[in-house]
Amino acid sequence: MSLSLPVLAWGRRYDRATLLSDMLAALIVTLMLIPQSLAYALLAGLPPEVGLYASVAPLILYAIFGTSRVLAVGPVAVVSLMTAAAIGEHAVAGSQAYWAMAITLAFMSGAMLLLMGVLRLGFLANFLSHPVISGFISASGLLIAASQIKTLMGVKAEGHNFIDLIAALVGQIQNIHGLTLSVGVLATGFLFWVRRGLKPLLLRVGLNARVADAIAKAGPVAAIALTTLLTWAFQWQTQGLKIVGSVPQGLPPLTGPLWDMALWKALAVPALLLSVVGFVESVSVGQTLAAKRRQRIEPDQELVALGASNLSAAFTGGFPVTGGFARSVVNFDAGAQTPAAGVFTAIGITLASLLLTPALYYLPQATLAATIIVAVLSLVDLSILKKTWAYSKTDFMAVLATLIATLTVGVEMGLVIGVGLSLALFLFRTSRPHIAEVGLVPGTEHFRNIKRHQVLVSPRVLSLRVDESLYFANARALEDRVNDAVAINPHLEHVVLQCSAINDIDASALESLEAIENRLADSGLALHLSEVKGPVMDRLKDTHFLHDFRGHVFLTHYQAIQALSPEIIH
């Protein structure tokens, strides 16, 4: 794969109007990203400033290599949770060793994504079905929200899964810290109101829609500023309210991964899962937003961009990142025209790291917990259970299994179980392909299922349409269907397989076709094919099956019936 630099495409047409639009969007996203970065770093078990570090270099690298005009890369809730799950077993959260492992995880994830991009493996994301991803993200959102409740309550509560965590929280009810709970609940309520009620209120008082939206998006900043100011004024930390404390001031440091092969082996699977989930989330957001402007993104190039972003995070003290849904939507709504908006956001985050970190000393941890809870609950979509139950029971089983496994076993195993069950259900479903006997619709050249339509058939000809590609798992089903039909029809002379829905025939299925033809020939019957697709015929033409084929391959099924059973036509 040749190196692609999308920045050269949009950079040539960059003008003053685009600059102003990007700078305005960057200002709004920066205000949103500062509290989110701090909160997601804490969620990952890292010092809050690491969230700021992870929001600078990745944005710049994505602007150079990314194909989405509005995707905002940085720390996100689900990836932060997966980071904590991956390295929580190897080091104590908040320690230097833990931070070094997070950097190593970012490096491994970046290298994997970059390699996948070079090898053009973006299609692998297709193995994560939407129901499985929806169930995984919803369960992760519930897990994250539950993990932050202890911070709102001002208690210590640990648990390896959702049930243990809830049980631990219930056991700590008598130890709730009143002031912490008050700050946390009020901040949570305020953030929910800002998200849904502030913009309509501002519009009613006459503000411009764009200005009202920008103010509403800055709600988390207002919550942080207010609770920080009140904590400083009333010295609430002396009354037991936990605060962020000292946040180092300065530019992101130069760092590097740990070159410990034993650690790399332990983190290999978590890094791969984290990479795939981050890529799927990023591409889903990018494609959705690109479609609204009639633009498009390149999945393989996105792998390269996300790989470069994570590698840059590893060398600047960060942790794994990906494209975030909420901030990308804000970036889009704020009018960002090019990835340069991300560069301006990185500049804003850098200035915040240099100038504003002393002001975060009195920031209550409960406020950051409230920020996380409000953000992640928007990811929870339990309606997917009702939708999939009504439409597809197999998809419902995959969603439910992913949801339950993630809540009870953990994020990594939850995702593995969901993907594994999806593939197993796919194999089960395709191992029993829909094979319809078809007949001629009177007065036409079309053939339809005899069970659904009034059609013409001949007792001498059996027309079967296989609505699935033929491969090892379903080849025997076709053999059984033909054998059953031959056994119950003593007048049968010809069997015609209509192949219009067959996109591929693997080696096992080819052997089954040979077996079917030999059995039919032994019984005095002939096997024929019709409407074989070009790519399938290209693979068959050099095989012994086609060279020794005793029947005919018809271009259309109508021609087959015309030749084998002309009385139906007439």
pLDDT in tens, 301-318: 999 999 999 999 999 999
Distance CA 335, CA 23 (A): 9
Alpha helices in 154-260 (DSSP H): 162-171, 178-193, 199-204, 209-217, 219-234
Lowest average pLDDT, out of 97-106, 261-270, 353-362, 523-532, goes to 353-362
Give pLDDT, residue 459.
93
Q: Which residue has the higher pLDDT, 183 or 357?
A: 183
Give pLDDT, residue 206.
83
What pLDDT band is residue 343 in, cutting at 50, 70 and 90? very high
Mean pLDDT, rounded, for 70-90: 92
pLDDT tens per residue across span 243-270: 998 888 889 999 999 999 999 999 999 9
Distance CA 64, CA 454 (A): 61
Q: Which DSSP state fits 250?
A: S
Give pLDDT, residue 56.
96
Give pLDDT, residue 199.
82
Give pLDDT, residue 538.
94
Q: Which DSSP state fits 505?
A: B
Half-sphere CA count of 204, side-chain side, radius 13 A? 5
pLDDT at residue 57 tops 50 = yes
Q: Which residue has the higher pLDDT, 513 or 211?
A: 513
Q: Which residues pair with 447 in a beta bridge?
A: 440
- Residue 475 phi/psi, 5° resolution? -60, -40
Q: Which two tokens stand for residue 317?
A: 């003290």
pLDDT at residue 136 tops 60 = yes
pLDDT tens per residue across span 494-506: 999 999 999 999 9
Half-sphere CA count of 531, side-chain side, radius 13 A? 21
What pLDDT band is residue 112 in, cutting at 50, 70 and 90? very high
Percent of the chain at pLDDT > 90 equals 64
Q: What is the mean pLDDT of the chain?
A: 91
Give pLDDT, residue 115.
95
Cβ 191 vs Cβ 223: under 8 Å? yes
pLDDT at residue 74 tops 90 = yes
List of domains in the chain: 16-423 (no CATH), 435-569 (3.30.750.24)
pLDDT at residue 2 tops 60 = no
Alpha helices in 461-523 (DSSP H): 475-488, 507-522
DSSP string over 374-440: HHHHTT--THHHHHHHHH-HHHHHHHHHHHHHHHHT-HHHHHHHHHHHHHHHHHHHHTS--EEEEEE
Q: Please measure the distance between the N-terminal and C-terminal CA atoms of the chain and give it in whole angstroms.
A: 58
Residue type, 275: S
What pLDDT band is residue 168 in, cutting at 50, 70 and 90? very high
Mean pLDDT, rounded, for 392-402: 89
Q: Which residue has the higher pLDDT, 24 or 264?
A: 264
pLDDT at residue 1 tops 70 = no
> Could you tell me the pTM of the whole model?
0.81
Give pLDDT, residue 3.
58
